[in-house]
A and B are shown apart, each in its own frame.
Chain A
Amino acid sequence: MTLKIIASQCTSCSACEPECPNVAISEKNGTFVIDPKKCTECIGHFDEPQCAAVCPVDNTCVIDNSFPRYQPPA
């Protein structure tokens, strides 16, 4: 799984972008998006996903169940 940003709730405040340890977040069409190929849910970096921790709107950076769970490299 990875995280995704609910576009309709994103305020485009950009707080998440510099916090992402994987540089997976970028601005597209006025809101921010997470590249699922790069997101690791911050596993191996921090205790909690940084985008969700810094996001000012609750339930906006959420787990995207349409992707398989991230597997840290052995």
Chain B
Amino acid sequence: MDASVQHEQATIPNGDKLSSVMQTIAEHKGCGTSGGSGKASCGSGAGENDLPPEIWEKVKNHPCYSEEAHHHYARMHVAVAPACNIQCNYCNRKYDCANESRPGVVSEKLSPEQAAKKVLAVASTIPQMTVLGIAGPGDPLANPEKTFKTFELIARTAPDIKLCLSTNGLALPDHVDTIAGFNVDHVTITINMVDPEIGAKIYPWVFWKHKRYTGVEAAKLLTDRQLQGLEMLTERGILCKVNSVMIPGVNDKHLVEVNKAVKSRGAFLHNIMPLISSPEHGTVFGLTGQRGPTAQELKALQDECEGEMNMMRHCRQCRADAVGLLGEDRSAEFTTDKIMAMEVNYDIDSRKAYQEAVESERVAKVVARQEELASLAGQSSDIKLLVAVATKGSGLINEHFGHAKEFQVYELSTAGAKFVGHRRVDLYCQGGYGDEDSLETVIRAINDCHAVFVAKIGGCPKSDLQAAGIEPVDQFAHEFIEKSAIAWFKSYLDKVNSGEIQHVVRGDAEIRQGALTSAA
């Protein structure tokens, strides 16, 4: 379908008040419900069809706000904000912060001036880098001078780069106007609860107005400020994503309530992430043995909330100094020493030309998927299954099985192919952790999948995968993911219908612990 036609279909009457636009966004339930119904996925190319044009314009090249964009566009974080104003039981400032950032592990703190230089260096090297975020390693709004100085410098030197920030929300109401003043149009708030009794189990304390608050009082203060901040952002037309950490037995069931609370206040996207918890992180939850969710538990909760609003499933829980496409980390290429030695030639026109090429690639991808989907029309089956895909980006099956650091997971049904998550496996080729067999690690991570799509795979892992009941598929090498997955699913259905194979339900899979770090 012609992208420009799609654009025209989704118009908002002129003169509509902003609040009604935000209401439209809040009521939008498109993400992931793609396929036969004609309802589009916010993550897929058809998201354009489903969102008001000005909203699509804001998210279409933001990898953290659009699943579809994250295959094509890169982001970077600059670690200019080390201080924090709250304590979370899943975070240990002394060593690392497993979910939002890793303070002990960010290679180096940056001054706003160093950060601005780094942004220019990265933007010149990676033309698809479209977004600059400040996500810590503490809280950006607990370091307002450094955060806003960084925004000011970048807005001046690289005006085409989108600015965004991620906050715990405690200080948010005090800074909303400044945020709006810098044209920051994406803000992420981490909201893990709206019930202070539950909050007291997640947050030992918050520091507010020169006083440390603890227990229920602290959590009450935090939730009030978070929701107030969210409302203030919505009123100003700033897109807001809510991150929630799923902590089984603590807030897992409660996150449905959180989902409703943030949806009603105009949040655009909800990102439910698995708790990362392991004793070696030294976090309270790591030390008390609090487990994270399994892949099935996470997906079930995301599916439950999906009827209510857009769900993000492509979050990689990256570091506060990450650089590159989600799922890759090129931060080691851009250390302060290297940046200072780099000759930076910031050419806004060549960036634009590159991004236009990316756009035409996206259109081709959408067309290919639509065509393949049309061939599924008329098929009816209750079968729903998952497949894993090895990809380096661009929406293509273009990674060797043994080189994949992660697999993207798609759910296939007669409604089409829907992105539902990803599984980290790190580098199987370079060995796993300790003594464990690295291929075993991969199989555990994608154990709920019926097939794995790769550009290439060796004979040995191929037979091991088959023995584990996962079909290795390499005949779609370097083709579009969704188109290929739908084609494979069609032949799978044919085989089931003809009695050649029997459809069996797969088991659960493991979510790899430990925050994403750069490749060894």
Contact = CB atoms under 8 A, between A and B. Distances in A.
Contacts of B109: 12
A59 to B, nearest CB: 12
B104 A47 contact: no
A57 B94 contact: yes
Contact of B94 (A11, A14, A15, A47): A11
Q: Which of A48, A54, A56 gathers the greatest number of chain B CB atoms within 10 Å?
A: A56
Given A13-B83, A13-B138, A54-B85, A19 B93 contact: no
Nearest to A9: B94
A23 interface: no
Contact of B207 (A13, A47, A54): A54
Contacts of A14: 82-83, 143
Interface in A13-62: 13-15, 18-19, 46-48, 50, 53-54, 56-57
Nearest to B137: A13
A54 B208 CA distance: 9
Nearest to B82: A13
A73 B502 CA distance: 86
Contacts of B104: 11
A56 B93 contact: yes
Contacts of B83: 13-15, 18, 54
Contacts of A11: 82, 93-94, 103-104
Contacts, number: 48
Contacts of B143: 14
A15 B210 contact: no
A33 B103 CA distance: 19
- Majority DSSP secondary structure for residues of B touching A: loop
A47 B137 CA distance: 28
B301 interface: no
A18 B207 CA distance: 13
Given A11-B103, A11-B104, A13-B103, A57 B212 contact: no
Nearest to A47: B211
Nearest to A16: B83
B211 A48 contact: yes
A47 to B, nearest CB: 7
Interface string B99-131: 000011000010000000000000000000000
Nearest to B86: A56
B268 to A, nearest CB: 30
Interface string B60-95: 000000000000000000000011110100000110
A47 B207 CA distance: 13
Given A53-B207, A56-B84, A13 B93 contact: yes
Given A11-B94, A56-B87, A56-B93, A50 B210 contact: yes
A19 B208 CA distance: 11
Given A11-B104, A15-B138, A57 B210 contact: no
Contacts of B511: none
B142 interface: yes
B211 A15 contact: no
B210 A13 contact: no
B273 to A, nearest CB: 21
A20 to B, nearest CB: 11
Nearest to A42: B210
Contacts of A9: 94
A13 B212 contact: no
Given A48-B212, A50-B210, A15 B85 contact: yes
Given A13-B82, A13-B83, A13-B138, 19 more contacts: A9-B94, A11-B94, A12-B82, A14-B143, A15-B82, A15-B84, A15-B142, A15-B207, A18-B83, A46-B211, A47-B211, A50-B210, A54-B83, A54-B85, A54-B207, A54-B212, A56-B93, A56-B94, A57-B93
17 contacts: A9-B94, A11-B93, A11-B94, A12-B82, A13-B84, A13-B103, A13-B138, A18-B83, A46-B210, A47-B210, A47-B211, A48-B211, A48-B212, A53-B212, A54-B85, A56-B87, A56-B94
- Which 10 interchain pairs have the tightest Cβ spacing? A15-B83, A56-B93, A53-B212, A13-B82, A54-B207, A46-B210, A14-B83, A11-B93, A13-B83, A14-B82
Interface of B: 82-85, 87, 93-94, 103-104, 109, 137-138, 142-143, 207, 210-212
